[in-house]
Structure 1
Amino acid sequence: MSKRVRSREVCADCSAPEPRWASVNRGVLICDECCSIHRGLGRHSSQVRHLTHSPWPSSQLQMVQTLYGNGANSIWEHSLLDPSSSVSGKRKANPQDRVHPNKTEFIKAKYQMLAYVHRMPCREDDSVTAKDLSKQLHSSVRTGNLETCLRLLSLGAQANFFHPEKGNTPLHIAAKAGQMLQAELLAVYGADPGALDSSGKTPIDYARQAGHQELAERLVEIQYELTDRLTFYLCGRRPDHRNGQHFIIPQMADSSLDLSEFAKAAKKKLQSLSNHQFEELAMDVYDEVDRRETDAVWLATQNHSTLVTDTTVVPFLPVNPEYSSTRNQGRQKLARFSAHEFATLVIDILTDAKRRQWGNSCESPKENVELILQGIDSRHNSESQDNDQPDYDSVASDEDPVQEATCGDSCNDRRTKLNSLQTENTTLRWQTPSGQQHLQAPFGRHPPRGGRALSMYETGSSPRQYPHRAETTRHEDGVILQPFPTNGCSLEGQSIMLENDYDTTPNHSEQEETGPPPVSDAVEPGEEGEEDATLPCTEDVICKTEQITKNIQELLRAAQETKHESFLPCSEKICVAVKEMAALFPKRPSSETVRGSLCLLTSSASRLHGECQKAAEHNPCPSDIQLVTQQVIQCAYDIAKAAKQLVTVTTKENNN
């Protein structure tokens, strides 16, 4: 099916014309503004891809287009279609609505809270309801009715449900029936192409036996999606599964260098992780790859000539409430890795995934090694590796010796990522109910088949359940993993960012580690002194805002024209203007709104200066500059937003 967006298509969330993005697991098309909100929700809520700039498997794109064309959006907006909803005040967003808070609140209610989904009648035993829904899904996948299956999945049906009487899963049924699009939908919701039925056969086996060769080949691709995606991120190539090649392990150009002792110890620690812990780490890295790639598409498709828009990049992985605080912290720290560090981590994940599948030996006659000659990503003609950049040396592999690393904060961050997995493992409680089937088979569980691939297709894709339903995660040995309670608190000695979206708040100043702020007059909570209700003249505030705006425009032009050497001078001008604007207000304003806006203004200027200093001091490669540019744009947006808030509140108060 053509990727070209047809003129009759509109955004599923606000009805804006010609949507350019898709939410894969929701089966809808969305506009740029709504997409920015979807990305802030996290991939566990919505998995977004650009219709023309992101790489798509053709059958997956066809699945999304079919769902959208057959009214999948009515699943997520069921109650809004009821005439009585207009009486109760419920309505969907429209193109003219502001992104924050109007569209944001609507999209969160629609996809996070499932506020408009048709609710099943309440029953005492919700597990029975989920089982019934899963049995219906099991029966429905033999047909081509995608929207029925999506509706069942939205209500809590399990894509990996093992039918006790039939002895197989929905994906076995879809594969045998040759239902390619149903297989795509099930895979997005976490179905395992390598799951065994009661006869020891996989969905791939059933597809081949039924003569559905194209479907069988696609299921193999889905089975290796995680490692394939990591490989493609580094070298722009995918293994040739059709000819038995299942891994390509890229190598760094500096492979002649010796491993440091720290790197060797960290490598050993990575290899000592259980399969479950390793899969979690691999899934987190997969999510970070998706975030970085989608950010690149986002920057390439946005018009940055406008001063400020409410749509922004996502600076780190959003919090997944189903993960522990420790794991969420480790996931967010992945965004701080340089391109070189992150590439080394990806290589070592690939190497260990292959080792776990094939056993301790990584020898396989059909596997390739891709040498990355020009830095990290040969697809984008990156320049040679900068030997001053610290490697991600905590998971270095035998196939990728790396240089001696300087171990500062970034090393601590990397240690935290691996340590958090082990900490979480000792904290979790386990129980083993009888009759339960495992969702993910571990590496090497079935030796005759040469081990197991990381078969989750889109990570974090399980549908959100209603709040009253207990949720569990299956462990590798058929054990049920009770979720670690996420209470929103930070662990001792660890600062954790828990924002679920990026409608920035004053709390951001307490979350970032950017060193001493250049804006010395920053207003901090708890500052000594009496509260002062006086506000400056509106004209003075507008004058300073215009000065800030002018400097931000200069910075954004530099970003658009890739004049990165101008970042630091521009940020210094912005910091001076921000300091002058903050000086107009009392040190301890009585208005909570003013305090919050000043805090956001000054802390964002500090973060901006820190990011621009980083670019100037370390001379990063193009891949790193792209990440810095994203952060710079985000900080500029926050500064402009805070300045606008101060103008608004000052005008309102002075007019009163």
Structure 2
Amino acid sequence: MSKRVRSREVCADCSAPEPRWASVNRGVLVCDECCSIHRGLGRHSSQVRHLTHSSWPPTQLQMVQTLYGNGANSIWEHSLLDPSSSVSGKRKANPQDRVHPNKTEFIKAKYQMLAYVHRMPCREDDSVTAKDLSKQLHSSVRTGNLETCLRLLSLGAQANFFHPEKGNTPLHIAAKAGQILQAELLAVYGADPGALDSSGKTPIDYARQAGHQELAERLVEIQYELTDRLTFYLCGRRPDHRNGQHFIIPQMADSSLDLSEFAKAAKKKLQSLSNRQFEELAMDVYDEVDRRETDAVWLTTQNHSTLVTDTTVVPFLPVNPEYSSTRNQGRQKLARFSAHEFATLVIDILTDAKQRQWGEKTDNNRHNSENQDNDQPDYDSVASDEDPVQEATCGDKSSDLSDGPITVQEFMEVKSALTASEAKIQQLLKVNCHLSEELRLMQSKLNSLQTENTTLRWQTPTGQQHLQGPFGRHQPRGGRAMSMYETGSTLRQYPLRVENARLPCICSSPVTTADAVEPEVDGEEDATLPCTEDVICKTEQIIKNIQELQRAAQETKHESFLPCSEKICMAVTEMAALFPKRPSSETVRASLCLLTSSASRLHGECQKAAEHNPCPSDIQLVTQQVIQCAYDIAKAAKQLVTVTTKENNN
């Protein structure tokens, strides 16, 4: 980054100038004081790296810079951008605040509790919502819009979601489209580069077939990221994956020294772990390596005369609430390993990982081991000094970590196990194909019923079959219109603040200023809903105006924002007028609230852009804010069409 660009950067949490740390999974830059709090949250909440002193894959750093530059922080502070938040006492931290408790409480609320993230208006079925969000993510990764994908991930979209109709994951789609930054973001959120599609191909295969060689090589690096990081920690080298070298096993220079009982117990039990337990241990050691490396960078870069050490130290891995108490205790005990003991454990894990990679522990062995260990702690004895004499059931067979030659008998056992494993895989693939075919038949039948239902529902006296509305449910599936977000336009999902506008508000508590919102009408709730055709007609008018706003944004015609917003607000007002003043349906109220408040925000942002004439460096953010409001309006209109159709058909 140039010095000119860096000078404009501020901490995402307190706005202090020139932040030197990055939170990789949040897409933000933070100052030293805020970073000290991030480190205490744990990597499951925030993965911090120093911008200049930490080792970065170039494309991962580019991904973070892109997210930060495009305002990803507004995803985590959505509700704070609402003017009403200042009335309720909610505010973000500032550079003058004390680290404890002010900044600590704010950062924990922001990243651990996600207190300020935009919430979906209706979450009656979380599983359905997560599936819908994951499908949106699956579609969005083909574009370069990182902020949209981060927003979907923040709401619960799954990076490893397997699309039942497409037969692949979001990482497959990003790889095929050559979106290397999207691949980096998905990988940070746990996407598996080795995941198989319905044809048995990985994202790496997709990238190579599409000619994206650099992306394919990066995906291979991501696949071996854990073992590469452990190797680099010990010897400062990484394997040469391009030439087929995937493992480097460092050797201890003083291997003749006696190991402590502490480390011996861990070494004896390592190979007795099931694959699942071994993977958990390896991930925990990876986290401990990250903690130790970050500690080293932290001590190197801090001015100890201005920062109090006891407020910034991270003595062991923070508790991860998703893990069992046994596993969290084992993770924290890793900090008690001396440098020599920890290096020995890392070497043992690298050796065992290489052996497991080459099939010395097959699927059958793994399943047997898991069945035997179901009642056992995950790996309580790995870092424990309380029961060093408890031996693994594997005896001598699991105590040797050498890379010596194997016997013919061992070779035949491995070969036999691999053959059995391959047969089982083929059987599972056949079952999967059968289930996929049944799913396709059921989906086809459902589509046919939906088309027939739509034809009957919208048939007019003139014989017109159905309305060609802006949403897919009013069109045949084969010709479903892709929304502007699915096709990768410049519309981006950004949380924004609410501005003044004279629009009716259906919310239970008004979100606009008193002089700009019509007062609620007293009286009983009304269960009547307007005619579905009228709602669709107004929705089409809103979408048409939003598309006009989109074209103005794409063509950078910012002077057209205000006229477009006035048209949209007028159409929104007409649509809101179709509904009763006090709808009895909670879903209708929530959708109307989102519709009218988003229109108010849109008008306010467009008016602000017209009045203040933002400089070129700020116009991009203004455009993103305007487009986010348009997205919320379109989403609310679609919800109203859906609920009106459903209620009128009942």
TM-score, normalised to structure 1, is 0.55
Deviations 1:365-389 (A, max 9, x none): xxxxxxxxxxxx9999999999999
- Is the Cα contact below 8 Å between 1:25 and 1:461 reproduced in 2? no
Percent identity, please: 93
CA distance in 2, matches of 1:154, 1:288: 25
SS at match of 2:276: helix
- Is the Cα contact below 8 Å between 1:227 and 1:350 reproduced in 2? yes
Note the C-alpha offset of 1:233: 0.2
- Is the Cα contact below 8 Å between 2:532 and 2:645 reproduced in 1? yes
Note the C-alpha offset of 1:461: 28
Note the C-alpha offset of 1:639: 55
- The count of aligned residue pairs is 599
Q: Residues 381 and 199 of structure 1: is their aligned pair in 2 closer, same or farther, counting only changes over 3 Å? A: closer
Deviations 1:296-330 (A, max 9, x none): 00000111134736751211100001111111111
- Is the Cα contact below 8 Å between 2:75 and 2:118 reproduced in 1? yes
SS at match of 2:369: coil
Q: Which moved more, 1:184-193 or 1:84-93?
A: 84-93
Q: Residues 5 and 554 of structure 1: is their aligned pair in 2 closer, same or farther, counting only changes over 3 Å? A: same
TM-score, normalised to structure 2, is 0.55
Note the C-alpha offset of 1:87: 1.3
Note the C-alpha offset of 1:123: 2.9
Q: Which moved more, 1:190-199 or 1:247-256?
A: 247-256
1:493 alignment counterpart? none
Q: Residues 213 and 89 of structure 1: is their aligned pair in 2 closer, same or farther, counting only changes over 3 Å? A: same
Deviations 1:529-586 (A, max 9, x none): 9999999999999999999999999999999999999999999999999999999999
1:630 alignment counterpart? 624
CA distance in 2, matches of 1:569, 1:330: 61
Q: Residues 321 and 462 of structure 1: is their aligned pair in 2 closer, same or farther, counting only changes over 3 Å? A: farther
Based on CA coordinates, which of the two structures has the bigger radius of gyration? 2
SS at match of 2:22: strand
- Is the Cα contact below 8 Å between 1:234 and 1:378 reproduced in 2? no
- Is the Cα contact below 8 Å between 1:226 and 1:455 reproduced in 2? no
Deviations 1:487-546 (A, max 9, x none): xxxxxxxxxxxxxxxxxxxxxxxxxxx999999999999999999999999999999999
SS at match of 1:252: coil
Note the C-alpha offset of 1:85: 1.1
1:510 alignment counterpart? none
SS at match of 2:310: coil
Segments of 5+ residues of structure 1 without an aligned counterpart are 360-376, 475-513
Map 1:235-634 onto structure 2 (within 5 A).
Answer: 235-256=235-256, 267-306=267-306, 308=308, 311-359=311-359
- Is the Cα contact below 8 Å between 1:262 and 1:394 reproduced in 2? no
Q: Which moved more, 1:248-257 or 1:230-239?
A: 248-257
CA distance in 2, matches of 1:422, 1:399: 63
Note the C-alpha offset of 1:232: 0.2
Q: Residues 120 and 575 of structure 1: is their aligned pair in 2 closer, same or farther, counting only changes over 3 Å? A: closer
- Is the Cα contact below 8 Å between 2:79 and 2:118 reproduced in 1? yes
CA distance in 2, matches of 1:618, 1:470: 17
Q: Residues 557 and 89 of structure 1: is their aligned pair in 2 closer, same or farther, counting only changes over 3 Å? A: closer
CA distance in 2, matches of 1:397, 1:325: 14
Deviations 1:130-171 (A, max 9, x none): 000000000000000000000000000000000000000000
Q: Which moved more, 1:547-556 or 1:348-357?
A: 547-556
- Is the Cα contact below 8 Å between 1:523 and 1:598 reproduced in 2? no
**RCO comparison, higher one (Cα < 8 Å, 6+):** 1
CA distance in 2, matches of 1:411, 1:624: 62
2:54 alignment counterpart? 54
Q: Residues 48 and 259 of structure 1: is their aligned pair in 2 closer, same or farther, counting only changes over 3 Å? A: closer
Q: Residues 629 and 161 of structure 1: is their aligned pair in 2 closer, same or farther, counting only changes over 3 Å? A: closer
Q: CA RMSD in A?
A: 25.4
Q: Residues 42 and 289 of structure 1: is their aligned pair in 2 closer, same or farther, counting only changes over 3 Å? A: same
- Is the Cα contact below 8 Å between 2:334 and 2:383 reproduced in 1? no
Q: Which moved more, 1:56-65 or 1:562-571?
A: 562-571
Note the C-alpha offset of 1:117: 0.4
SS at match of 1:566: helix
Deviating above 4 A after TM superposition, structure 1's stretches of 4 or more consecutive aligned residues are 1-5, 256-266, 377-413, 415-474, 514-656
- Is the Cα contact below 8 Å between 2:470 and 2:543 reproduced in 1? no
Q: Residues 417 and 451 of structure 1: is their aligned pair in 2 closer, same or farther, counting only changes over 3 Å? A: closer
Q: Residues 34 and 551 of structure 1: is their aligned pair in 2 closer, same or farther, counting only changes over 3 Å? A: farther
Note the C-alpha offset of 1:36: 0.4
Note the C-alpha offset of 1:102: 0.6
Q: Which moved more, 1:465-474 or 1:120-129?
A: 465-474
Note the C-alpha offset of 1:124: 2.3
Q: Residues 197 and 343 of structure 1: is their aligned pair in 2 closer, same or farther, counting only changes over 3 Å? A: same
Q: Which moved more, 1:38-47 or 1:120-129?
A: 120-129
Q: Residues 23 and 262 of structure 1: is their aligned pair in 2 closer, same or farther, counting only changes over 3 Å? A: closer
Q: Residues 519 and 582 of structure 1: is their aligned pair in 2 closer, same or farther, counting only changes over 3 Å? A: farther
Deviations 1:464-507 (A, max 9, x none): 99999999999xxxxxxxxxxxxxxxxxxxxxxxxxxxxxxxxx
Q: Which moved more, 1:610-619 or 1:90-99?
A: 610-619
SS at match of 2:4: coil
CA distance in 1, matches of 2:305, 2:566: 21
Q: Residues 446 and 331 of structure 1: is their aligned pair in 2 closer, same or farther, counting only changes over 3 Å? A: farther
Q: Residues 424 and 356 of structure 1: is their aligned pair in 2 closer, same or farther, counting only changes over 3 Å? A: farther
- Is the Cα contact below 8 Å between 2:469 and 2:540 reproduced in 1? no
Deviations 1:235-270 (A, max 9, x none): 000000000000000111233568899977754421
CA distance in 1, matches of 2:326, 2:316: 15
Q: Residues 26 and 645 of structure 1: is their aligned pair in 2 closer, same or farther, counting only changes over 3 Å? A: closer
- Is the Cα contact below 8 Å between 2:468 and 2:475 reproduced in 1? no
SS at match of 1:22: strand
Note the C-alpha offset of 1:201: 0.2
Deviations 1:592-645 (A, max 9, x none): 999999999999999999999999999999999999999999999999999999
Q: Which moved more, 1:117-126 or 1:437-446?
A: 437-446
